Amino acid sequence: MIGLTLLGLGVATYLTIAHYSGGTTICPLHGGCETVQHSKYSQLAGVPVALIGLIGYILILGVLLTPSSETTRLIAVVLTVGGFGFSIYLTGRELFSIHAICPWCVSSAIIMTILACLSIWRFLRGEDVPLKSTSQGAGGLDAATASPSSAAEPLPGA
């Protein structure tokens, strides 16, 4: 997930720089990127959507680099699902309002879709499970998760 986030961060950085420099992007589709970048839908409340994407990827990376907990996994879900929804909206605008496709934007939408799926799976999976245990207790149980038998403990007041 970190690798995908870094890839998305690279795409969003490139598009943000292109937006603020007023330059053109390297676009395999003749004019598609420039048409999208210069459309009225390239900004939301005066903020370039490329910058919104850049900030989103930075937030996702920050959450992924913090120690994993139920809270951080939930925050990752909220950010990536929000990014996925925003990507769907922007792709719809490309198809139905702008009538042009920017491959850079599509690549970011694909990255965000994969990140959303992975973060949901990661959240639903729950606690991070170690891949290999080095300290095996009795009966092959991991010593960190093995609990003493309730029959071995004396009852209170006995």
pLDDT digits (tens, 9 = 90+) for 100-125: 999 999 999 999 999 999 999 999 99
Question: Which one, of 12, 34, 54, 49, lies nearest residue 26 by Cα?
Answer: 34
Does CATH number 3.40.1280.10 belong to domain 2-126?
no
What b/e readout covers 55-66, taking b as 16+ CB neighbours within 10 angstroms? Answer: ebbebbbebbee
Region of poorest pLDDT, from 52-61, 111-120, 144-153: 144-153
pTM of the predicted model, to two decimals? 0.78
Tell me the residue ranges of DSSP E strands in the chain. Answer: 43-44, 47-48
Name the band, by pLDDT with cuts 50, 70 and 90, for residue 134.
low
Cα–Cα separations (whole angstroms), residue 105 to 19, 52, 110, 129, 131: 13, 12, 9, 35, 36
Could you tell me what percent of the chain has a pLDDT over 70?
79
* More confidently predicted of 132 and 27: 27
The position carrying tokens 């490329």 is: 50
